[in-house]
Chains A and B, each alone.
Chain A
Amino acid sequence: AQTVTQSQPEMSVQEAETVTLSCTYDTSENNYYLFWYKQPPSRQMILVIRQEAYKQQNATENRFSVNFQKAAKSFSLKISDSQLGDTAMYFCAFRGSARQLTFGSGTQLTVLP
C-alpha cells in the first residue's frame, strides 16, 4: 500500500514571503499522480496543483509550484508571495493504479500579517 507523509504538522509564514511544504511518498509504481489540496476554514477541499509522474517538468499554478523529485519520492509545494487567504490546511495526495487517493496527514499553514 502506498503511504504519504507530511512531516510538518504546522507552519507559519509572513505575508508576502515564500514558504515550502514538504511531502514524501512511498510507492513501487512508475506511473502515478500527485496532488496538493487546500482546506480553508470553510472545510472545502480545493485542488491546488497536480503533477503527473511521467512529466519531468514541475507543475506551476500562479503563485504555487512544486518540486517533484521522483527518485527521492519527494513532492514539495512552494507558495510564493504568501497571502492571508492562503491560511489553510494543506494535504498532499497520491493516486496510483489503484482507483483511490491516499492522503497525508496535513500541514496547517498560517500566514501572518
Chain B
Amino acid sequence: EAQVTQNPRYLITVTGKKLTVTCSQNMNHEYMSWYRQDPGLGLRQIYYSMNVEVTDKGDVPEGYKVSRKEKRNFPLILESPSPNQTSLYFCASGVGLAPREQYFGPGTRLTVT
C-alpha cells in the first residue's frame, strides 16, 4: 500500500530534550515536506526537500532541523524543544520537484512541557 508513515504518532516530552520524528514514504517520491498545524493558523511549512541531500526552509524553520540521506526518509529533528513547538506535525511527499499533489502522513501530536 502506498503511504507516508510517521513515528511516533503521539509524544510528550520536556523542554530541552532532543527528539526526532521520523517520516518515511514508499512511493519513490522526490519531494518531501514537514508542516505544523496550529489552531487558527492552518498548516505552515517547516522544511522541504526536493531530493536526497537537497533541503530548504519553509515559512517556520526556526528550532527545527531536517536531513535527507535517503530518498524514502525525511526525519524532523528538534534539538532543544520548547513549549511553543507543541503542535500537530504532518509529513508529506509528492512526485517531482514541484508536485501537483502531496500525500500526507497521519500526523504526530507533540506536547512539550
Contacts and interface: CB of A to CB of B under 8 A. Distances in A.
B43 A103 contact: yes
Given A47-B101, A50-B100, A103 B42 contact: yes
Interface residues of B, number: 25
Nearest to A99: B98
Interface string B80-99: 00000000101010000110
A100 B45 contact: yes
Interface in A1-33: 1, 4, 6, 9, 33
**Size band of the A side of the interface?**
20 to 34
Nearest to A98: B98
Given A44-B106, A99-B50, A100-B48, A105 B58 contact: no
Q: How would you classify the secondary structure of chain B's contact residues: helix, strand, loop or mixed? A: strand
Nearest to B50: A99
A100 B59 contact: yes
B42 A91 contact: yes
Interface of A: 1, 4, 6, 9, 33, 35, 43-45, 47, 50, 52, 91, 93, 95, 97, 99-106
